[in-house]
């Protein structure tokens, strides 16, 4: 079970890009929620035990997709945990009830994600499990945004631009995991994979359709856009008319790990191999539909 605690991030990169010797395909992969390094002061400020606080972590998702690097695509991953900072949100989606001090006037405190406790600085993990024992200073939240969130997105934007410049277009695969069941609906199980393309707005239909057909053909249950249509990253960066496509892939944790112990299951390597075969397929799609194109009239 992978988890580390540190005093700060001076000796560990906050995030990193695992780059191939040469990028051979116009794809890049991003795992913003698989970070498993927890600052000790963050754990001290939390009311949760060390296992409960990890419920929102996309455990091992970066490893599931690691095969894309030798295949010729960069993989960006966060080392910090989602519970500490969520880069798949707007920069200032903040809940005023969480903080000691007034939020800046430009903060978005009324989004649905903030209402659910899952803003840029999360209030809860899993479903309504409160993280903090008491309000945290506003300055601490803003420091995380300025020193971690913004550099993360600067690097992601740079990787997309480099890929687009080299190939004429870029495909961002945003990699996530999800709990196998819905707590509010006991016994209700989620699909093995959920593909999010913002209901067709963030990538060419050929990409999501090919991914759906491949995964379904391998015997997996697959859903599109429900319950996850893609978060801020998919919505913000997916611009098919400009030749930048973004597809979110949510993997059901039960198919590759034990959700209670957070240990990898024997099927982990099978799922990783199937995902790499999916990447092979997607990277072989004709370039014509991925280059910049005008949006169809509505």
pLDDT at 191 over 60: yes
Residue 277 and residue 13 in contact, taking contact as beta carbons nearer than 8 Å? no
Q: For residue 192, how far is the Cα from the chain centroid?
A: 16
In whole angstroms, what is the distance from residue 200 CA to residue 156 CA? 22
Indicate the helix (H) or strand (E) that contains 77. Answer: strand 75-78
pLDDT at 238 over 50: yes
pLDDT at 298 over 50: no
pLDDT at 253 over 50: yes
Calculate mean pLDDT across residues 250-258: 98
Residue 23's pLDDT band (cuts 50, 70, 90): very high
Residue 291's pLDDT band (cuts 50, 70, 90): confident
Calculate mean pLDDT across residues 169-188: 82
- pLDDT of 2 reads 58
- pLDDT of 4 reads 58
89's CB contacts (< 8 A; 6+ apart) are: 113, 118, 119, 120, 231, 232
CB atoms within 10 A of CB 199: 12
Residue 73 and residue 17 in contact, taking contact as beta carbons nearer than 8 Å? no
**For 115-125, what is each residue's pLDDT tens digit?**
999 999 999 99
In whole angstroms, what is the distance from residue 251 CA to residue 196 CA? 11
- The two three-digit tokens of residue 109, written as one number: 């405190």
**Pairwise pLDDT comparison (235 vs 181), residue with the higher score:** 235
**For 77-103, what is each residue's pLDDT tens digit?**
999 999 999 999 999 999 999 999 999
The label of the residue with tokens 């006037």 reads 105
- pLDDT of 3 reads 57
In whole angstroms, what is the distance from residue 30 CA to residue 248 CA? 9
Q: Is 72 left (phi over 0), alpha (psi -120 to 50) or beta?
A: left
Calculate mean pLDDT across residues 63-87: 98
pLDDT at 197 over 90: yes
- pLDDT of 222 reads 98
Q: What percent of the chain has pLDDT over 90?
A: 85
83's CB contacts (< 8 A; 6+ apart) are: 42, 53, 54, 56, 57, 122, 125, 131
Domain 4-44+53-81+141-289 in this protein, CATH class: alpha beta
Eight-class DSSP state of 132: B
**The whole model's pTM is what?**
0.93
Residue 193's pLDDT band (cuts 50, 70, 90): very high
3-state secondary structure of 125: strand
- pLDDT of 288 reads 76
Across 38-53, b (16+ Cβ under 10 Å) vs e yields bbeebbeebebeeeeb
Calculate mean pLDDT across residues 218-243: 97
pLDDT at 219 over 90: yes
Paired strand residues for 130: 124
In whole angstroms, what is the distance from residue 275 CA to residue 285 CA? 16
Residue 250 and residue 196 in contact, taking contact as beta carbons nearer than 8 Å? yes
In whole angstroms, what is the distance from residue 160 CA to residue 26 CA? 9
**For 112-159, what is each residue's pLDDT tens digit?**
999 999 999 999 997 788 999 999 999 999 999 999 999 999 999 999
pLDDT at 12 over 90: no
């Amino acid at each position: 079970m992978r988890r580390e605690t540190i005093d700060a991030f001076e000796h560990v990169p906050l995030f990193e890009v695992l780059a191939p010797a040469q990028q051979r395909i116009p794809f890049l992969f991003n795992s913003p929620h698989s970070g498993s390094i927890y600052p000790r002061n963050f754990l001290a400020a939390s009311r949760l035990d060390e296992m409960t606080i990890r419920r929102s972590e996309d455990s091992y998702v970066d490893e599931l997709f690691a095969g894309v690097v030798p295949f010729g695509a960069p993989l960006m991953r966060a080392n910090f945990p989602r519970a500490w900072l969520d880069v798949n949100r707007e920069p200032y989606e903040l809940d005023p009830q969480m903080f000691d001090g007034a939020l800046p006037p430009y903060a978005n405190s009324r989004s649905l994600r903030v209402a659910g406790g899952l803003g840029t600085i999360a209030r809860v993990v899993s479903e309504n499990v409160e993280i903090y024992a008491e309000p945290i200073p506003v300055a601490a939240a803003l420091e995380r945004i300025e020193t971690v969130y913004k550099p993360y997105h600067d690097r992601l934007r740079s990787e997309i631009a480099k890929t687009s410049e080299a190939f004429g277009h870029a495909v961002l695969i945003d990699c996530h995991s999800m709990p196998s069941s819905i707590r509010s609906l006991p016994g209700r199980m989620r699909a093995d994979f959920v593909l999010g393309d913002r209901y067709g707005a963030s990538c060419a239909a050929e990409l999501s359709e090919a991914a759906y057909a491949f995964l379904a053909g391998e015997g997996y249950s697959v859903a599109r856009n429900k319950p996850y249509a893609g978060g801020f990253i998919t919505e913000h960066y997916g611009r098919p008319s400009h030749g930048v496509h973004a597809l979110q892939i949510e993997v059901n944790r039960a198919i590759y790990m034990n959700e209670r112990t957070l240990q990898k299951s024997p099927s982990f390597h099978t799922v990783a191999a199937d995902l790499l075969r999916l990447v092979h397929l997607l990277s072989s799609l004709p370039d014509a539909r991925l280059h910049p194109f005008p949006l169809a009239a509505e």
